[in-house]
Amino acid sequence: MTAAGCTLTHPQQAAVARIVYALESPAAIALVCGAAGVGKTLVLDRVIASPALGGRPCVRRSMASDESSRDGQTARGDAILVLDDAHMAAGDDLHAVVEAWRRHEPRGGVVLAGEGRLLTLVARDSRLERVISLRAVLGPFTLAETREVIGPRLGIPGRDAVGTDIVRAIHEIAAGIPARMIRLAEFVRLVAEAAPDGRVTPDDVEAVHRRLTLQAA
């Protein structure tokens, strides 16, 4: 779900809009949280690219890496830090990163993104808890959202009964996690293309899932 051409679901669009709106306030700190694969990276991509930010410089970093990328040539005091994998912070590291950024960019903003542990880290640190201006939590897709994203990839007509069963099987196996669903759907499509009649069944979806699981083991 990281490709620039991907269509956002309504919850993802809402998260982008809320984060961008929060960042319009000086020194705002926003938080986006969700399990791996729910589309946090896609949301962050859209936030950084939003025209509503007025071309403010953005620095993207990860707690899992020392690498960073910057949009914009020079800091103006209002640059935005987008910190991914923030749930991997240890001890006071997260607060230290936020405070260092606020000293460097006093009118800038911060977006903390990570998995569920991020909420725990913030809850344990009252210094962070009281300065977070927005929390956006991304959950798994609903079945309707899965159908909207997966159906076109599989070439399934909206009212096709067999196709509906295929989408439901993919949705349930992947627990509604977009990245898992898309990967599974791509392999199911390959199986369908190889089938004489071009069709697959929920049992075929299960079989593809088992093969993928064995490959990953």
* pLDDT score of 155 more than 80: no
Same domain, 80 and 186: no
Decide which of 109, 138, 167 is a domain's last residue: 138
Domain boundary among 90, 105, 138: 138
Q: Are residues 155 and 90 in the same domain?
A: no
Give the pLDDT band (50/70/90) at residue 154: confident
Whether residues 18 and 110 share a domain: the answer is yes
pLDDT tens per residue across span 161-180? 557 899 999 999 999 999 99
Q: H-helix or E-strand containing 113?
A: strand 109-114
> Which of 138, 166, 183 is the C-terminal boundary of a domain?
138
Is 75 within the bounds of a domain? Answer: yes
- Mean pLDDT over the full length of the chain: 87
Give the neighbor-by-neighbor strand order of the sheet with 80-84: 65-71, 58-62, 80-84, 109-114, 29-34, 134-138
**Does residue 76 sit in helix, strand or coil?**
coil
Instruction: Give the pLDDT confidence score for residue 79 in this predicted structure.
Output: 93
Is residue 26 located within the same domain as residue 114?
A: yes
Shared domain for 161 and 120, answered yes or no, is no
The domain of 126 spans 10-138
42-67 average pLDDT score: 89
| One domain, residues 181 and 120 | no
Please tell me whether residues 77 and 151 are part of one structural domain: no
Total domains in the chain come to 2
